[in-house]
Amino acid sequence: MEKHSLNGTLIIFNGFNLVLLGVLLRSGMQLLPTLLIMLLSTSMVQFLTFRLLNRQYKEIKDITEKVSMGDHSQRIPTLNVEEFNELGQSINKMLGKLDGTIGHLAIHREELRLIVGTIQDALWSINAEGKIEWANSAFAQLFNLYDETRMQYYWEVIREVSLLNYIREFDSSPENRIQEISLGEHAYLLSGSQNPDAQRTVLLLQNIDDIHRVEQMKKDFIVNLAHELRTPLTAIKGFSEAMEETADNTNMRYLKIIQNHTNRLINLINDLQTLIRLEQNYSINLREINLLTFFDNIKLILSPLFEDKEVELEIDIDPAQPRFCVDPFKFEQIFINLVENSLRYTEKGKILIRSKATDKDLTIEISDNGSGIAPEHLPRIFERFYVADKSRNRNSSGTGLGLSIVKHIVALHNGTIDVSSALGRGTTFTIVIPAGKAS
Ligand SMILES: Nc1ncnc2c1ncn2[C@@H]1O[C@H](COP(=O)(O)OP(=O)(O)OP(=O)(O)O)[C@@H](O)[C@H]1O
Ligand SMILES: [Mg+2]
């Protein structure tokens, strides 16, 4: 197709007018008819040009409109006016790139749909209004009120109060969170994350029944094993003590070693049982205690441990507020474990228990001037079976369960426990328990 440049056409047209003016004037024609002829020719050329431009413009407009309606197959044909043709080709190039991008996005979307569809856990997304934007098939199976053809509010589909509360709380404090919840007889791990740009919340509900079953099997196994081991160990301990009466010096040494190891095993079994009992029995029995009498009693219980040591136990209780609500039996265990540790790692000096109570909470510090804990171990000492100084004589070190029991009991009281320590200078554990009401 022959193309014309708009600029070129205008130059030719103006040139033609000048030539025409010259020819007419030179042929002796009068000025007025000359101008009339020129006006007529200009109008005609203008009309033809306008018609051409209008047709080309309409062609571009029609096609871009079709594209905007979703028909991406449309392309602008070659146009006669060069400038329009260039514009048309640029639009075609842009449409080509757009097609490529849309194609890629469609592939990704399909992949994502397949992945989400194969996930066995319920996955869904909620918009800012609280309507379910999309959900996978596992969600539809779990919540049979869900109808994917309608945009439903999540509370129309989800009826479980714990789950509804979680979603509501999540809206008010939207940092990524994970929480264990139970629906009927099943346990789930619920996690959510928010996309503030898209104003969407994505939630995932994972069934953890199997994990719970395995945990329960593990606990049952430990409880049974501990039960089976206790009787023979008590017998070994009892008979080795009885043999002390007739043993000579060499045998006495062997008997002490047997007793030492038997005691370690009995302690391990006791610790394991305590930990499992604490984990199984989430409830605590809060009672108001008098801290002065409570710690007097603790001192009495622990006094035999101090007999052969050059370590003194000092207790300093705030006398202004001596009453506080705790679970007395579990609370006792905290100080037994912490003081036992301090005693184990302190050769000479003092272990101090200091408490300060306010209307809101109770702060208790247990400090010693013993060997201290190296900074690299501090973050891990509350883990089960974690023993910081493995090079120590195995006879004097424990099994690493004491502090996890302490942490568990503090958590049952909704409290916190922190530790600070300096090698060679000592260790301080700080426990803060919020004030609770006696049941
Ligand atoms: N007061 C302390 N001084 C120095 N190290 C400590 C102190 N308390 C705890 N630790 C370190 O932290 C580790 C973990 O303590 P934890 O009470 O859990 O276990 P354990 O005392 O070794 O064994 P268990 O208490 O089960 O008999 C200890 O092995 C020890 O290395
Ligand atoms: Mg310990």
Residue 3 has a pLDDT of: 65
> Are residues 409 and 330 in contact, defined by beta-carbon separation less than 8 angstroms?
yes
pLDDT, tens digit, for every residue of 267-303? 889 888 888 888 776 778 899 999 999 999 999 999 9
Cα separation, 22 vs 54, whole angstroms: 32
pLDDT, tens digit, for every residue of 194-252? 888 888 889 999 999 999 999 889 888 888 888 899 899 999 999 999 999 999 999 99
Q: How confident is the model at residue 19 (pLDDT cuts 50, 70, 90)?
A: confident
Give the Å distances, CA to CA, from 209 to 109, 203, 243, 282, 334: 32, 19, 51, 18, 32
Q: Kindly report the protein residue whose alpha carbon is nearest to atom 29 of ligand 1.
A: 387
**Pseudo-torsion of CA 377, 382, 383, 389, nearest 10°?**
40
For range 346-352, the mean pLDDT: 94
Cα separation, 202 vs 193, whole angstroms: 5
For range 43-52, the mean pLDDT: 84
* 323 sits in which H/E element: strand 323-326
Q: Extract the tokens encoding 301.
A: 């219980």
Q: What is the mean pLDDT of the chain?
A: 88
Whole-number Å distance, alpha carbon 336 to ligand 1 midpoint, is 12
Whole-number Å distance, alpha carbon 398 to ligand 1 midpoint, is 7
pLDDT for 4 beyond 70: no
Question: Under CATH, which architecture does the 119-207 domain have?
Answer: 2-Layer Sandwich (3.30)
Question: Under CATH, which architecture does the 210-280 domain have?
Answer: Orthogonal Bundle (1.10)
Residue 350 has a pLDDT of: 95
Strand partners, 212: none
Q: Which of 263, 342, 381 to mutate to test the pocket of ligand 1 (most atoms within 8 A of CB)?
A: 381
pLDDT, tens digit, for every residue of 117-175? 888 999 999 998 999 999 999 999 999 999 989 999 999 999 988 889 888 887 776 66
The proportion of the chain whose per-residue pLDDT surpasses 70, expressed as a percent, equals 95
Cα separation, 89 vs 100, whole angstroms: 17
Q: Is the CB of 333 under 6 A from ligand 1?
A: no
pLDDT, tens digit, for every residue of 237-267? 999 999 999 999 999 999 999 999 999 899 8
Q: Which of 265, 333, 367, 403 to mutate to test the pocket of ligand 1 (most atoms within 8 A of CB)?
A: 403
Options 3.40.718.10, 3.30.565.10, 1.25.40.10, 3.40.50.10470; which CATH number does 282-439 get? 3.30.565.10
pLDDT, tens digit, for every residue of 391-407? 555 455 678 899 999 99
What counts of helices (H) and strands (E) characterise the chain? 11, 12
Cα separation, 11 vs 33, whole angstroms: 24
pLDDT, tens digit, for every residue of 51-103? 888 888 898 899 999 988 888 888 988 888 888 889 999 999 999 999 899 99
Q: Is the CB of 403 under 6 A from ligand 1?
A: yes
Query: So where are the chain's domains?
Result: 6-105, 119-207, 210-280, 282-439
**Could you tell me the end-to-end alpha-carbon distance of the chain, in angstroms, rounded to an integer?**
95
For range 336-358, the mean pLDDT: 93
**Pseudo-torsion of CA 160, 161, 162, 167, nearest 10°?**
90
Phi (first) and psi of residue 306, to 5 degrees: -90, -5
- Beta-carbon contacts of 132 under 8 Å, excluding residues fewer than 6 positions away, are 124, 125, 126, 146, 151, 152, 153, 154, 157
Cα separation, 310 vs 295, whole angstroms: 21
- Beta-carbon contacts of 146 under 8 Å, excluding residues fewer than 6 positions away, are 132, 135, 139, 140, 152, 157
Measured from the Cα of 392, ligand 1's closest atom is 31
Q: Is the CB of 426 under 6 A from ligand 1?
A: no
Strand partners, 178: 191
The proportion of the chain whose per-residue pLDDT surpasses 90, expressed as a percent, equals 51
pLDDT, tens digit, for every residue of 91-100? 999 999 998 9
Higher pLDDT, 380 or 43: 380
Q: Kindly report the protein residue whose alpha carbon is nearest to atom 26 of ligand 1.
A: 401
**Pseudo-torsion of CA 103, 107, 109, 114, nearest 10°?**
160
Strand partners, 364: 355, 431
- Could you tell me the sign of the dihedral formed by the alpha carbons of 105, 106, 109, 111, in that order? negative
Short-list 149, 192, 198, CA closest to 173: 192
Torsional class of 74: left (φ above 0), alpha (ψ -120 to 50), beta (otherwise): beta
Q: Kindly report the protein residue whose alpha carbon is nearest to atom 28 of ligand 1.
A: 387
Short-list 289, 298, 282, 421, CA closest to 362: 289
